[in-house]
Structure 1
Amino acid sequence: MDSPVPPRPPEPRPRHRDRHGRGMRGPVAPPQVPLAASRAEAFGDLVQDSVERLERRWPQLADVDFLVVDVPGPAEDTVPLGSSAPSEKGLPARIVVYRRPVEIRTKNREERAMLVHEVVVEQVAELLGLAPESVDPRYGQD
């Protein structure tokens, strides 16, 4: 009599868990989740949100460069939160918001968003030669 052929042993499976049984390690959150954004990226988003709010009312702001810089230069006596420069010699007008001084003065994201918007409004007002209240009627009401 012929004996049945024993089954072949299964091929080893790829490991799906580490040696402690916890599973593969990876990022804490996928890149599209705000948790994965750095503080600088989140701050840049706050500035962009503020600019978009103002561009609806002031379309000429599309020609202005809005920049985020970590800290102002050492030539300042006081620490500014932002600065503006008019256009000159083919360069567009520029508004700069300084990230670290704003972050230091705020406790949470809501306060930071309000202060960023105030800084952007003040710098736009200075650039356009207007009062901040005429740039954004809600300025100073928060």
Structure 2
Amino acid sequence: MMRRRAKQTPERGRPTRHGRHGREGRSPVVRPPLPPIDTRIERFDLAVGAAAEFLRSSWPELRDVRFEIADMPLKTDENGIPRWQAFPDDKRIVMFRLPIERLSHLHRNDDLHRRMMIESCVFRAAADFLGRDPWDLGPDRFRFF
């Protein structure tokens, strides 16, 4: 009896780009680098840091002052929930993020106005620390508004 010979199929090599289970046409598992996640906390920290550096460079009395950020104050005062607290003896100013972000009334709810509100709170806190008017701290900064 004559045996049939099996057809020999040319062996296919593995494709250079393949996905799971050897299938072609899949995208790679690792995507291209994405921009970093920008959170409200990071934007708040950046705004406070920029305003604090401006004030430190303008006022020698504030060069040794630490600007700290806390979520909420531990207790309220007679005026309600404080936005900041100045400690002249310890040379530090504590900014409270949640009251500033959530209890502030913005003219327009966008990134620019939020940042301006945060910076104005930093200026008012520094003025409270120094015992001055907030407009005295940066008169050139607000000249064009």
Q: TM-score, normalised by structure 2?
A: 0.69
Say if 1:17 and 1:23, in contact at 8 Å, map to a contact too.
no
Structure-2 change in CA distance of 1:22 and 1:12 (3 Å): closer
User: Secondary structure, in 3 states, of the residue corresponding to 1:76?
Assistant: coil
> Separation in 1 of the partners of 2:33 and 2:100?
28
User: What secondary structure sits across from 1:63 in the alignment?
Assistant: coil
1:133 aligns with 2:138: no
Change (3 A) 1:15 1:103: farther
CA RMSD of aligned residues (A): 3.3
SS at match of 1:114: helix
Aligned residues between the structures: 129
Conserved in 2, the CA contact under 8 Å of 1:68 and 1:98? Answer: yes
Matches within 5 A, 1:89-100: 92-100=90-98
* Kept after mapping to 2: 8 A contact 1:17/1:24: no
Structure 2 counterpart of 1:109: 111
- Counterpart contact for 1:84–1:126, Cα < 8 Å: yes
Contact 2:82 2:99 in 1 (8 A): yes
Which one has a bigger Cα radius of gyration?
Answer: 2
**Structure 1: which 5+ runs fail to align?**
1-5
In the alignment, structure 1 residue 30 sits paired with structure 2 residue 35: yes
For residue 94 of structure 1, what is the amino acid of its counterpart? R
- How far 1:69 moved relative to its partner? 1.1
Gaps of 5+ in 2: 1-8
Q: Is the contact made by 1:47 and 1:116 (CA closer than 8 Å) also made in structure 2?
A: yes
Residues 83 and 99 of structure 2 are in contact (CA less than 8 Å); yes or no, is this contact kept in structure 1?
yes
Which 10-residue stretch deviates more, 124-133 or 11-20?
11-20
List per-residue Cα deviations over 1:37-89 (Å, max 9, x = no partner).
Answer: 322111100101111222221133221110111112234340121111113xx
1:124 to 107, 126, 132: 126
Aligned residues of 1:85 and 1:95 also touching (Cα < 8 A):
yes
Q: When the two structures are superposed, what TM-score results if normalisation uses the length of structure 1?
A: 0.71
Q: How far 1:24 sits from its partner (Å)?
A: 2.7
Q: Match of 1:58, as an amino acid?
A: W
